[in-house]
Amino acid sequence: MTSGFLELRHVECEGPAEYLPALEEYGPVRTVRLWREPLPDTLDHRAIVVMGGPMGAYDGAVVPWIDDEIDYLRSALAAGVPVWGVCLGAQLLAAALDAKVYPGGAPEVGVCDVELTDAAASDPVWGEVPASFPTLQWHGDTFDLPVGATLLASSPAYPNQLFRHGRSYGVQFHLEAGPEVAAEWLAIDEYRGALERTLGAGAAEAVLAELGSVHSQTSAQAHAVMTRWLESIA
């Protein structure tokens, strides 16, 4: 097994961001851009980080590599390779664990509070995070909790926000995304349109300002949870 980590990216603007410094402290990160590169032939990385994207985990008919990615993650889990899935990545992890992924109700977009469950208090990665904390949300899909998983966080709109399965974690929210990353997303018509259809015209600037006001907190938490995860799988 190599000493590095594999990042699976679905769109250029959604990378590890605030998670990256912690990852690079523990080893090199190999990024595979799935829209133009094949999945690795082997499962020889220490862990896999699966990022977000505008497509759905159920979009295999129109995004051909999605089903292959789910199969790859299923094989990785069976081989004992831990996975950290973010937003779409959390949904793909859930699908690889044979849980259903589907459109939710109204999209959850903007800076929202997430509440940890009682089970999170004893979690090796999330146990030191405040019981309630603000984070960026940007999704319309959700998933059923996989069999054998432990629910660690919820929000009023989407109960399944964070889960642990073995040494793997599905993180629905974007703790890794600060104002600079969000500004890149908002420069894309599809992303800005999704936000303003939910929150109203002109909401983009308000979201950026709110995210900026909590960025020091979210950045520190992103580094802390990623570091604790990497320590836990070392």
- Please determine, for residue 143, whether its predicted confidence score (pLDDT) is greater than 60: yes
Angle at 74 between CA 140 and CA 154, to 5 degrees: 35
Neighbour order of strands in the sheet with 162-165? 29-33, 5-9, 47-50, 83-86, 168-171, 162-165, 150-154, 101-116, 132-143
Per-residue pLDDT, 192: 87
Residue linked to tokens 């992890």: 93
Identify the structural domains of the chain with CATH numbers, from first to last.
5-233 (3.40.50.880)
Interval 211-224: pLDDT, tens:
999 999 999 999 99
- Please determine, for residue 1, whether its predicted confidence score (pLDDT) is greater than 60: no
CB 135 within 8 A of CB 150: no
| Integer Cα distance of 12 and 15 in angstroms | 7
- Please determine, for residue 228, whether its predicted confidence score (pLDDT) is greater than 90: yes
H and E: helices and strands count for the chain: 6, 9
Residues taking part in catalysis? 87, 174, 180
Residue linked to tokens 């590169």: 37
Buried b (16+ CB within 10 A) or exposed e, 147-165: eebbbbbbbeebebbbbbb
- 118 pLDDT band (50/70/90 cuts)? very high
